[in-house]
Amino acid sequence: MGRLIEALLVTLAQLAPFLLLGFAIAGLLHAFVPRSLLTRAMGGTGIGPISRASLLGIPLPLCSCSVIPVATELRRQGAGPGATAAFMVSTPETGVDSISASIAVLHPILVVARPIAAMVTGLLTGLAIEWASPLPALPQGGGSCCKHDPEAQVRGSGRGILGGLRYAFDDLLGEVALYLVPALLISAALGLYLEPGRLVDLGLAPWLQRLAILVVSLPVYVCATAATPVAAALLVAGLSPGATLVFLLAGPATNLATIGAVANNLGRRSAGVYVAMVSAVSIGFGSALDVLWDRLQITGKPARLHAHEHLDWPNLAAAALLGTLILWHLGRRLARRWATSRRQPPAANS
């Protein structure tokens, strides 16, 4: 247990400076990017709104859960079906927070490939939905796996820098903390107990690894930021780079709640196209990355993960700050649940 805790602290220390920077940038984007900008950029149909929606979704710090009410509101405000779908794909697949985490623990090629693949996946998915599905009626209500105000997800809770930072380290980190803790534990355990290259011993061909990861990723919710250290640990353990990219793309973009929201907002046929396109493009990019990796004979791994010599005082200070914030958010969540349970009236005796 002591070694696992040590590995967990090392993982947190490596990620913390980049995550704090990413959350800060995300908060500033949240404060200064108004919803009206997104609505204007995504209005109408055609490749223009779809490409803009894919591009605008890249830096926004919305997970696949919180993007649902935002996309629903944008659709009501006039965003086209293709643009709405593109936004729902590219936004949760990456963001400034997950890009910062990627820089900390992933190979530079994966750091670059991840947002590019997210943008292309969103673009192709949006185009396919507009081509294959008729224009549906605007929805009257949208489901969500989280209870968020759509306006609050795009515009800061307060004005200016302080409002953006309040959103970043209160709202956004509070939402991500619940998924970040198990992700850090899994990453630490994989790095500690799974020897480098161990997955290679299983003898699975790269194409089979990509397919297996896709099947696992489609129905399950995974946050892009929390997925990053897990992906790094799997890569060190011998998962192919292409399969790692498939996990980073399909995991955040698809889950049962997201698929249901697409069906509600754009129709069931569009939901089928959505899943098919995310799957196909993820596999395509994963296959291309594996070929490129072999052609370039890349041997570099995310060596900074669990590398004790890199734990200087800025890393440790950032880890202490981030760890304190995470524990505070988890404690506040537990306190709210306890208070809610205390307010519930006792069941009447029959």
Is residue 302's pLDDT more than 70? no
Average pLDDT score over residue span 310-322: 85
Looking at the structure of the chain, the number of domains it has is 1
Going by pLDDT thresholds of 50, 70 and 90, the confidence category of residue 323 is very high
Average pLDDT score over residue span 50-73: 84
**Tokens of residue 164, six digits:** 């953006």
* Residue with the larger pLDDT of the pair 73 and 166: 166
Distance between CA atoms of 169 and 261, rounded to whole angstroms? 27
**Tokens of residue 263, six digits:** 């069906």
The least confident of 152-166, 211-225, 255-269, 291-305 is: 152-166
Average pLDDT score over residue span 242-255: 93
Contact 108, 72 (CB under 8 A): no
Q: Is residue 279 part of a domain?
A: yes
Mean pLDDT, the chain, integer = 82
- Write the single-letter amino acid at 138: L
pTM for the model stands at 0.79
Is residue 307's pLDDT more than 70? no
* Residue with the larger pLDDT of the pair 35 and 253: 253
Closest CA to 119 of 37, 60, 67, 34: 60
Q: Is residue 341 part of a domain?
A: no
Average pLDDT score over residue span 173-177: 83
Q: Is residue 338 part of a domain?
A: no
Instruction: Give pLDDT, residue 348.
Output: 55
Instruction: Give pLDDT, residue 143.
Output: 43
Is residue 343's pLDDT more than 80? no
Q: Is residue 257 part of a domain?
A: yes
What does the chain come to in residues?
A: 350
Is residue 52's pLDDT more than 60? yes
- For residue 305, which phi and psi values (nearest 5 degrees)? -70, 125
Q: Is residue 29 part of a domain?
A: yes
Residues 6+ apart with CB under 8 A from 269: 132, 133
Cross-strand pairs, 79? 43, 44
Out of 32-46, 195-209, 229-243, the most confident range is: 229-243
Beta-carbon-side half-sphere exposure of residue 279 (alpha carbons within 13 Å) = 17
Distance between CA atoms of 295 and 91, rounded to whole angstroms? 31
Closest CA to 92 of 207, 217, 276, 215: 217
- Write the single-letter amino acid at 243: A
Q: Is residue 270 part of a domain?
A: yes
Contact 287, 239 (CB under 8 A): no
Instruction: Give pLDDT, residue 134.
Output: 60
Is residue 12's pLDDT more than 80? yes
Average pLDDT score over residue span 328-338: 90
Cα 330 to its chain centre, rounded Å, is 20
In the chain, the percentage of residues whose pLDDT exceeds 90 is: 34
**Tokens of residue 72, six digits:** 């629903």
Q: Is residue 348 part of a domain?
A: no
Instruction: Give pLDDT, residue 350.
Output: 46
Contact 8, 307 (CB under 8 A): no
**Tokens of residue 150, six digits:** 């759509």
For 76-104, how does the pLDDT look when each residue is reduced to its tens digit (9 = 90+)?
778 889 999 999 999 999 989 899 999 98
Q: Is residue 320 part of a domain?
A: no
* Residue 71: domain span: 2-305
